[in-house]
Chain A
Amino acid sequence: MKSIIVLSGKGGVGKSSIAASLAIAFSEDKRIVCADCDVDASNLSILFSLPTERYEEWTPLSTNQIASIDRDKCIRCGKCIATCYFKALRSEDNIPKLNEFGCEGCGACELICPAKAITLKDIDNAYIGYSRTGYGFKIASAQLLPGNSGSGKVVSEVRKKAKEIEPDAELMIIDAAAGIGCPVIASVTGNDYALLVTEPTPSGYEDMLRALDIVDHFRIKKGIIINKYDLNKDYSAKIELFAQEKKIPIIHKIPFDRAFVDAMTNMVPIIDHDKDFRKMFMDMKKKIEAEVIDSEK
């Protein structure tokens, strides 16, 4: 199974919208599966008019542990408080009290406690599930519960789930979160191709460079899509020049179009909006295919 990761660093540049329409384009002649790895704000399936409430499966997931303190066993030595590198423990009446937001579940406090008063307990930190979309292919996604940590591990579970529900798929399309932190690193590793979506603004450009650092760290082949390229043609030219110097193909330049927003508001993938958009995405698909699949033959 080949896999393509769509990422951008900066949020709101059109990553999910483009990933959704590309998935539909690929699904027309391939067996594909989608993985929504933006587990902070999982919304790829909404673009297929499929809210997670209508998923075939949507179950609690535990990828995290947090410290649990037995007050009766605690000898109030304070070692755990001094040990916690994440400052998740503080003293309250000489007994350690846990700030759940801060606990990484590392287990250092459990190891240091001389009275065995601390144990790590599994906590449900997310929901995970899948469903078949109206386009025939399946999608796996997860939602981190607000205020929980461990998004990197949840991302790995989504990718695993996508493989499980469609083991014979030829292609997996992964939508990453904004940023470049742990959930994005977990999304990028081990893919065959990275599609960097950017926009012609200083932040769009700088964030693309940051995302590119991660992609290059894992030595993944990549291409660039410039969204809303005509909003600032000077900046678009700057991105194109950069791509040329680095020998990164520009897969497409998408013009700014209010139809994009209208399509999203009506929960219609852009590819289905009109004939021109359809042609555009079929072109992109061909180019990406040539990069990912044909180049190996």
Chain B
Amino acid sequence: MFDFLEDYDLLGAFWVTVKLTVYSGIGALVWGTVLAALRVSPVPVMRWFGTAYVNIVRNIPLTVIIVFSSLGLADVFGITLGAADDFKALSFRLSVLGLGAYTSAFVCEAVRSGINTVPLGQAEAARALGLNFRQVLGLVVLPQAFRSVIGPLTNVLIALTKNTTVAAAIGVGEAALLMKEMIENEAQLLLITAIFAFGFVVLTLPTGLILGWLGKRLAVKR
């Protein structure tokens, strides 16, 4: 019953999924934090840019962004991210770029809501003690903010894991693309779907449980 599986690189496909998640997750975390910093900055132009970015990117389907990164950025603009000849590597890198650009909007909102959960009195008390701006930020505000956003960020990470399947739209050989190929070639629809569903449950459920538990433990009780 499971014989046909030997013809396909199942683990390899899921490994690509994991790699997509990790790389674009790191990119989204960095860029999303920068965006959040822009959105809460005292400079109006920066706030304006951050708001515009988030509202625009969040409302475009990820599929459109990924397809655009292939047909628009790569084909028309010739942005090849250092992999001009290698189609596989190019699609992978473009997908990471697209996934990161999209997910960072959600990371930004999560981080910003974390900063919003810190009561104003905390900063006022810190200033009253004579802490300077850097100390207020580094010792009082950001630690509380980051501890309260572990939960929302976990949800973003899980959504990102599932969203990596969209990379199949530009031919990245991750789980969804392999599944599509397999069910076209084999008459084992239910079994194959069950395998891939199980794979994603294995990827997302432990992440949610572990990080959710951590988020609850670390959250600042108020």
Q: Do A and B bind each other?
A: no
